[in-house]
Amino acid sequence: MDITELYKKMEQENIHYITHDLSSTSAMIAHYEDITVIVVDEKKIKGQVEENTVLIQELGHYMADAYYRTNSSYELIEKMEQKADKKAWEEFFPYEEIKTLMKKGYITVTQLAEYYGVEASYMARCINYYYNQYHGFDDKTNYKK
């Protein structure tokens, strides 16, 4: 994925981008009243692929309205992270597009991750979600729960 597309999406949504040292994560999103900011610790980001992944994850929080406080319960944090990931995957890696890519020969998680310019571990979680949600990638057996 071209990073300029992600920055353009942030601009369209009036999401600010700032860099700051973060203690326990490489990025976070903050939302207060009508201000939304994605904060990135550039010292912890090791290249374009990692930055793409982080921005997509944080944009997922914005699109899904999946926010939590740093002192929230583990259960709430997990719920909001899953909600954000699902929204990000549906927006940036749509199921039907992935099926089309698979038909064109992008059959491994690594190939799909390289195509989208994101980390393979993030793409693997996306593929696992879609596989379970749609019962695979075969046109004959796909149906949504």
Give the relative orientation of helices 3-12 and 48-64 as an angle to the nearest 10 degrees.
Answer: 30
Structure tokens at 103: 């038909």
Q: What is the mean pLDDT of the chain?
A: 92
CA distance 48 to 63: 22
For tokens 């353009």, name the residue.
8
User: pLDDT category, 91, cuts 50, 70, 90?
Assistant: very high
Stronger pLDDT, 142 or 81, i.e. the higher one: 81
DSSP 120: H
CA dihedral 63, 8, 46, 117 (to 10 degrees): 80
CA distance 17 to 71: 23
In the predicted model, is pLDDT for residue 108 greater than 50?
Answer: yes
Which residue spans within the chain are E strands per DSSP? 15-19, 27-32, 35-40
The pTM for the full model equals: 0.89
pLDDT of residue 140: 64
User: pLDDT category, 137, cuts 50, 70, 90?
Assistant: confident
Structure tokens at 107: 């059959």
Over residues 54-67, mean pLDDT: 96
Over residues 40-57, mean pLDDT: 95
Percent of the chain's residues with pLDDT above 90: 83
